[in-house]
Amino acid sequence: MTSGVDRLVFDSSAYSHFRAGHSGVLDCLAKAAVVVVPTIVLGELDAAFDAGLRAKENRTRLAELLDEPFVTVAPVTAAVARHYGRIVGELRRAGTPIPTNDVWIAATTADCGGTVLTFDRHFERVAGLQRIVLAA
């Protein structure tokens, strides 16, 4: 990526790699005008925190990121749900389903006009989705 994106949407894998200091994620983050965190990602992260040994620390660090003025949380709205339905239908017709939560993340990305930052190649199956797929 040579230039920034207006709205960079973090999926869970991007957040995890951000926390690990992945240079590609940090580069994308530095070039983004706004970082969007879908509520679905918050749920995925909370579940992962519950399964770990440092839940309180992880929640505190996430809260610090969410408090940054350039970070916004994107809720699931009726418009996001319409994008979800369209994406599910397209993936079914193509015979290329992806995990349900990732469809919601793709729908949120489409709704906000953003670019999803991910390490999950299956986002490439979503036609028209703006995405940056990094390698670990």
Q: Looking at the domain assignment, is residue 44 inside a domain?
A: yes
Q: Looking at the domain assignment, is residue 2 inside a domain?
A: no
Instruction: Check residue 3 and give its pLDDT.
Output: 59
Q: Looking at the domain assignment, is residue 1 inside a domain?
A: no
Number of C-beta neighbours around residue 25 at 10 A: 23
Q: What is the pLDDT of residues 109-128, one digit of tens each?
A: 999 999 999 999 999 999 99
What is the C-alpha to C-alpha distance for residues 101 and 96, in angstroms, rounded to an integer?
15
Nearest to 15 by CA among 118, 130, 135, 107: 118
Q: What is the pLDDT of residues 65-95, one digit of tens each?
A: 999 999 999 999 999 999 999 999 999 999 9
What is the C-alpha to C-alpha distance for residues 83 and 116, in angstroms, rounded to an integer?
15
Structure token pair of residue 12: 């869970």
Structure token pair of residue 107: 């729908």
Q: Looking at the domain assignment, is residue 83 inside a domain?
A: yes
Q: Does residue 2 carry a pLDDT above 70?
A: no
Q: Does residue 28 carry a pLDDT above 50?
A: yes
Instruction: Check residue 1 and give its pLDDT.
Output: 40
Average pLDDT, whole number, for the chain? 95
Range of the domain at 126: 7-133
Q: How many domains is the chain built from?
A: 1
Q: What is the mean pLDDT of residues 19-39?
A: 96
Cα torsion 95, 98, 104, 105: sign:
negative
Q: What is the pLDDT of residues 30-59, one digit of tens each?
A: 999 999 999 999 999 999 999 999 999 999
CATH code of the domain in which 22 resides: 3.40.50.1010
What is the C-alpha to C-alpha distance for residues 7 and 70, in angstroms, rounded to an integer?
10
Q: Looking at the domain assignment, is residue 117 inside a domain?
A: yes
What crossing angle do the helices spanning 39-51 and 12-19 adopt, rounded to 10°?
A: 60
Q: In sequence order, what E strands does the chain have?
A: 7-10, 34-38, 71-74, 115-118, 131-133
Using CB atoms within 10 Å of the CB of residue 61, give its burial: 0 to 12 exposed, 13 to 18 middle, 19+ buried: middle
- Going by the DSSP 8-state scheme, the letter that residue 76 receives in this structure is P
Q: Looking at the domain assignment, is residue 129 inside a domain?
A: yes
Q: Looking at the domain assignment, is residue 73 inside a domain?
A: yes
